[in-house]
Amino acid sequence: MTAAQQAELPQRQQGDDRLVAIDHFVKGKVVRGGGTVHRAGGGVSFEVPALDLDALVWPRTSPGPAFDVPLDEVIDVLVATGDRLRTDPGGHVAEALALIQQINPLAPAVLERCYGDLPAQFARNRILDMIDGEIGGPTVLDGWADHVSRDGRKGRYRAFPPRLVHVLAGNGPSVAAFSIVRGALSKGVHLMKLPSNDPITATAILKTMAEAALDHPVTRSFSTVYWRGGDSRVEQILYQPTYFDKLVAWGGEAALRSAKDYIGPGFELVAYDPKSSISFIGREAFASEETLAEVADAAAADATVYNQLACVAARFQFVEGTEDEVDRYCEALQRALGLDRHLASAVGPKLAPDLREEIDALRDLDPMYGVWGRDDGRGIVVRSDEPVDFHPDGKVVNVVPVRDLADAVRFANVATQTVGVYPPERKVALRDALANCGVQRIVRLGKAIGGPAGMSHDGFFPLHRMVRWVNEED
pLDDT at 17 (0 to 100): 63
CB distance 448 to 468 below 8 Å: no
Using DSSP, state whether 370 is helix, strand or coil: strand
CA distance linking residue 298 with residue 449, whole number of Å: 12
Q: Which amino acid is at 253?
A: E
What is the chain's alpha carbon radius of gyration, rounded to the nearest angstrom? 24
**Helix (H) or strand (E) segment spanning residue 82:** helix 71-87
- Among residues 417, 412, 421, 408, which one has the least CA distance to residue 441? 417
Q: Does 195 sit behind a cis peptide bond, omega within 30 degrees of 0 on the bond before it?
A: no
pLDDT at 43 (0 to 100): 76
468-473 vs 154-160, strand pairing mode:
antiparallel
Using DSSP, state whether 235 is helix, strand or coil: helix
DSSP bridge partners of 167: 193, 249
Phi then psi for 458, rounded to 5 degrees? 55, 35
Q: What angle do CA 15, 19, 20 make, to 5 degrees?
A: 135
CB distance 24 to 224 below 8 Å: yes
CB distance 282 to 203 below 8 Å: no
Q: Does 462 sit behind a cis peptide bond, omega within 30 degrees of 0 on the bond before it?
A: no
pLDDT digits (tens, 9 = 90+) for 89-135: 999 999 999 999 999 989 999 999 999 999 999 999 999 999 999 99
Distances (CA, A) of 333 to 89, 170, 277, 397, 404: 42, 28, 17, 9, 20
Q: What CA dihedral angle connects 48, 51, 56 and 61, to 10 degrees?
A: -170
pLDDT at 14 (0 to 100): 42
Phi then psi for 52, rounded to 5 degrees? -115, 95
**Helix (H) or strand (E) segment spanning residue 362:** helix 353-363
Q: What is the largest CA-CA distance in the chain?
A: 74
Distances (CA, A) of 182 to 114, 128, 187, 274, 462: 19, 11, 9, 20, 8
For the chain, report the end-to-end CA distance as a whole number of angstroms. Answer: 41
Distances (CA, A) of 239 to 188, 230, 231, 262, 390: 16, 11, 11, 6, 35
- Work out the burial of residue 328: count CB atoms within 10 Å of its CB; fewer than 13 is exposed, 13-18 middle, 19 or more buried: middle
CA distance linking residue 464 with residue 148, whole number of Å: 21
CA distance linking residue 82 with residue 254, whole number of Å: 33
**How is residue 49 annotated by DSSP?**
P
Positions in the chain short of pLDDT 70: 1-17, 41-42, 252-255
Domains and CATH numbers, the chain: 3-273+458-473 (3.40.605.10), 276-444 (3.40.309.10)
Using DSSP, state whether 381 is helix, strand or coil: strand
Distances (CA, A) of 227 to 6, 152, 190, 191: 14, 52, 16, 12
pLDDT, mean over the chain: 91
